[in-house]
């Protein structure tokens, strides 16, 4: 009489698909394809912002579905990073941090006389940025924090995952129309650190998504700023900006300014210290003793 193991080992193909490299290559590739579709939608419906928003929402839902499906059917795990309990509170916190930090940067520039408000546009000018903010926040967080950070952390631990995900996240902004090495490195340090720290602290993606969405939307829809080297779009506020690039960020946008670097990086460091204090740092696999990655 033969007995079947209670927990049979998956076959070789499934073990490969569940490995961190396969997660990055396969799931990451699918999400990049969706990001391309997002770009096509925003280009095709540039003059119809409401239609663009509807299509982007549909694509965002599809992106979540693919991410969840891969985790559930391939990796056979509980996706704690997208757990619904506490989602509203964490997403709201992210929105407040993102909008608050960007507004704080602009307030400092106003106090210095660099950023001057000269008028207001109609409220309808705030609609087009919704699609951009939704697309960038959902897909970039699923890709860079959910896929890349999670995969690197699984083998090499939290600190290596923070460095790798932040650097790749920053360098991808070089493909933007006004992308610069300086701007990419600033984003890697300030945004990469803060977004990874938010994930490490909460072990959820909701704060990161909320921050990313609010920062981009506030920057474009309210203050009419350049978003990470993309082409400028008019938002609610008509303004003039006259000051040194190290304060304004120049053509790349405020992300390439010392103000954003100091405020966002400081916030990220505070979150990292909280994550360390709460024991949320995952060591490399060779120092781990059956410790789950997602907590």
Query: Does residue 192 form part of some domain?
Result: yes
Per-chain mean pLDDT for the chain: 92
Q: Is 119 left (phi over 0), alpha (psi -120 to 50) or beta?
A: left
The reported pLDDT for the residue numbered 195 is 98
pLDDT band at 86 (very low <50, low <70, confident <90, very high): very high
pLDDT band at 2 (very low <50, low <70, confident <90, very high): very low
The reported pLDDT for the residue numbered 291 is 55
Q: Which residues contact 19 (CB under 8 A, 6 or more apart)?
A: none
Query: Does residue 53 form part of some domain?
Result: no
158-199 tens-digit pLDDT? 999 999 999 999 999 999 888 899 999 999 999 999 999 999
- Give mean pLDDT, residues 41-58: 91
Residue with more model confidence, 89 or 16: 89
- Give mean pLDDT, residues 233-252: 94
- Give mean pLDDT, residues 234-250: 94
- Give mean pLDDT, residues 84-97: 97
- Give mean pLDDT, residues 239-245: 94
Query: Does residue 14 form part of some domain?
Result: no
pTM: 0.93
> What is the tally of structural domains in the chain?
1
User: Rounded to whole angstroms, how far apart are CA atoms 219 and 129?
Assistant: 9
Print the domain residue range for 129.
86-284
Query: Does residue 193 form part of some domain?
Result: yes
Return the top range by mean pLDDT from 74-83, 185-194, 228-237.
185-194
The reported pLDDT for the residue numbered 173 is 93
Query: Does residue 37 form part of some domain?
Result: no
Percent of all residues in the chain with a pLDDT value above 90, rounded to a whole number: 84
Query: Does residue 213 form part of some domain?
Result: yes
Percent of all residues in the chain with a pLDDT value above 70, rounded to a whole number: 95
262-295 tens-digit pLDDT? 999 999 999 999 999 999 999 999 997 765 555 5
Query: Does residue 58 form part of some domain?
Result: no
Query: Does residue 66 form part of some domain?
Result: no
């Amino acid at each position: 009489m033969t007995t079947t193991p209670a927990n049979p080992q998956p076959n070789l193909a499934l073990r490969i698909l569940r490995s961190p490299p396969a997660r990055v290559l396969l799931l990451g590739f699918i999400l990049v394809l969706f990001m391309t579709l997002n770009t096509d939608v925003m280009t095709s419906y540039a003059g119809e912002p409401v239609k663009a928003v509807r299509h982007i929402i549909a694509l965002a839902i599809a992106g979540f579905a693919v991410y969840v499906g891969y985790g559930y059917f391939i990796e056979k795990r509980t996706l704690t990073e997208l757990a619904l309990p506490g989602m509203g509170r964490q997403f709201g916190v992210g929105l407040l941090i993102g909008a608050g930090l960007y507004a704080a940067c602009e307030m400092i520039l106003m106090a210095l006389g660099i950023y001057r408000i000269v008028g207001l546009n109609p409220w309808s000018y705030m609609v087009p940025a919704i699609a951009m903010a939704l697309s960038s926040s959902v897909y970039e967080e699923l890709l860079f924090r959910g896929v890349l950070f999670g995969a690197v952390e699984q083998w090499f631990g939290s600190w290596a995952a923070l460095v790798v995900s932040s650097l790749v996240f920053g360098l991808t902004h070089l493909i933007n129309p006004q992308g610069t090495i300086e701007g990419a490195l600033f984003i890697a340090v300030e945004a990469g650190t803060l977004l990874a720290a938010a994930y490490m602290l909460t072990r959820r993606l909701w704060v990161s998504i909320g921050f990313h969405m609010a920062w981009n939307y506030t920057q474009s829809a309210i203050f009419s700023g350049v978003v990470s080297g993309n082409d400028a779009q008019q938002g609610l506020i008509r303004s003039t900006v006259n000051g040194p690039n190290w304060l304004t960020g120049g053509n790349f946008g405020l992300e390439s300014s010392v103000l954003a670097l100091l405020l966002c990086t400081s916030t990220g460091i505070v979150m990292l210290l909280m994550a360390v204090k709460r024991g949320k740092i995952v060591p490399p696999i060779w120092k781990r003793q059956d410790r789950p990655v997602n907590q």
